[in-house]
């Protein structure tokens, strides 16, 4: 057998393992999957939340009870940097030892660490922090905010990671075993951070693994095939209409405090493509060289009902990055998860519910990273 053939077979077995983990672990409950398919391939926080909210604890961030979630201590709005939005929520289970794995979550959308479309969505993303703590980790939810320069959001990620390296042991976390998980618009800051070593602190990249979910960032000059599905407006088309829920970027579930990002007008984001830098600037800012060298383990996740995913395959962006890195050998080859039956929002809203079709494979992957 040729070396390339041997690599291909090992690679194939690895992919089969990653894909089969999800199937063996669980499937989306039939009634919820039917609801998600009715919503369709759009971004609909409000209607998706209505499907998953009944599977969540009665309490959410709007309640003043103590403890909010029995057995879990939450440190809210802990400052990690100079900006008023430089805050994190830290979830630690009351039982358990020191030096726990740390799981950082970097949200998409405008960057709220509490999803605030309507009264149902505010139950999320506490679910991710809760899930992490229940599985022996310290959960960290980051409040994300924009900056003036192209790499300011990534610099904010760097500031947070350096703060965690210095302080997470106070919350029983292990600063030498941290993972970072981003979704949608959170891919840009995290992808840029990992792909630009000049942004690292004196102790290096600071994470051993990264989970990228339903997003993209600059990997010039790789050519990513275009995917159908339209643009930003199409991704939110009819959101909220299938369940009588709130429209995109509504404030029905707004809460006070720093965990509320600056509102984004629907039209403003749709014009972002017009402000893209030229090809030379894109190449100069590319993350690809560093991704080809990184020792950070990668998991790439696409949802079957993501906008633009209509052929049962991984997103063209993730597939392109995956194939490029795999040419360097199995040690550089990212793991991949195709979340069958899941949507852009349900892949997150399902965490810490009876639907373990996403959380099960992710937990298995985290445990596999040494």
Cα 143 from Cα 104, distance rounded (Å): 11
pLDDT in tens, 341-351: 999 999 999 99
Cα 321 from Cα 337, distance rounded (Å): 14
Buried b (16+ CB within 10 A) or exposed e, 184-209: bbbbbbbbbbbbbeebbeeeebbbbb
CA 315 to chain centre: 15
State percent of the chain over pLDDT 70.
89
Cα 72 from Cα 288, distance rounded (Å): 39
Q: What is the pTM of this model?
A: 0.92
pLDDT in tens, 227-259: 877 677 889 999 999 899 998 888 888 888 888
Longest dimension (CA), the chain: 64
Q: How are strands ordered across the β-sheet holding 335-339?
A: 72-79, 87-93, 138-142, 100-106, 173-183, 209-213, 297-303, 335-339
Cα 294 from Cα 263, distance rounded (Å): 35
Question: Hey, what domains does the chain have and what are their CATH numbers?
Answer: 3-269+279-368 (3.40.50.1820)
Other C-beta atoms within 10 Å of 9: how many? 11
**Radius of gyration from C-alpha coordinates of the chain:** 19
336: nearest Cα among 220, 193, 211: 211
Average pLDDT over residues 117-138: 96
342 is written with which tokens? 């899941």
pLDDT in tens, 2-41: 334 333 434 443 443 444 343 445 899 999 999 999 999 9
Other C-beta atoms within 10 Å of 155: how many? 17
Q: How is residue 341 annotated by DSSP?
A: T
pLDDT in tens, 174-215: 999 999 999 999 999 999 999 999 999 999 999 999 999 999
β-partners of residue 205 are: none
50: nearest Cα among 281, 321, 246, 252: 246
Does the pLDDT at position 86 exceed 70? Answer: yes
Task: Tell me whether residue 27 is exposed, middle or buried, using C-beta atoms within 10 angstroms of its C-beta: 0 to 12, 13 to 18, 19 or more.
Answer: middle
47 is written with which tokens? 């209607």
CA 213 to chain centre: 5
β-partners of residue 213 are: 183, 301
């Amino acid at each position: 057998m040729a070396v390339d053939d041997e690599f291909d077979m090992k690679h194939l077995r690895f992919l089969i393992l990653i894909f089969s983990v999800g199937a063996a672990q669980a499937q989306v409950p039939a009634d919820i999957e039917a609801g998600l398919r009715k919503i369709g391939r759009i971004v609909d926080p409000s209607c998706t939340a209505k499907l998953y909210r009944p599977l969540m604890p009665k309490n959410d961030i709007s309640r003043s009870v103590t403890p909010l979630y029995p057995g879990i201590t939450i440190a809210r709005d802990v400052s990690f940097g100079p900006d008023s939005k430089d805050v994190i929520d830290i979830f630690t289970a009351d039982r358990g030892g020191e030096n726990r794995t740390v799981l950082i979550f970097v949200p998409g959308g405008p960057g709220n660490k509490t999803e605030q479309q309507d009264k149902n969505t505010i139950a999320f993303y506490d679910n991710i922090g809760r899930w992490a703590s229940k599985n022996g980790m310290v959960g960290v939810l980051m409040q994300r905010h924009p900056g003036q320069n192209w790499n300011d959001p990534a610099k904010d990620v760097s500031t947070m990671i350096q703060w965690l390296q210095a302080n997470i042991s106070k919350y029983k976390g292990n600063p030498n075993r941290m993972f970072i998980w981003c979704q949608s618009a959170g891919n840009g800051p995290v992808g840029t951070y990992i792909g630009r070593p000049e942004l690292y602190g004196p102790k290096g990249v600071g994470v051993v693994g990264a989970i990228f979910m339903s997003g993209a960032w600059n990997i010039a000059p790789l050519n990513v095939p275009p995917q159908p599905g339209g643009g930003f407006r199409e991704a939110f088309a009819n959101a909220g209409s299938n369940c009588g829920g709130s429209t995109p970027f509504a404030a029905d579930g707004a809460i006070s405090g720093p965990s509320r990002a600056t509102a984004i007008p629907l039209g403003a984001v749709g014009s972002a493509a017009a402000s893209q830098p030229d090809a030379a600037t894109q190449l100069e800012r590319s993350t690809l060289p560093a991704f080809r060298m990184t020792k950070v383990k990668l998991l790439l996740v696409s949802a079957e009902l993501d906008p633009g995913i209509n052929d049962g395959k991984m997103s063209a962006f993730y597939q392109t990055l995956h194939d490029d890195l795999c040419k360097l050998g199995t040690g550089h080859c990212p793991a991949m998860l195709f979340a069958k039956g899941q949507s852009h929002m349900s892949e997150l809203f399902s965490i810490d519910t009876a639907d373990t079709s996403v959380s099960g494979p992710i937990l298995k992957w985290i445990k596999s990273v040494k």
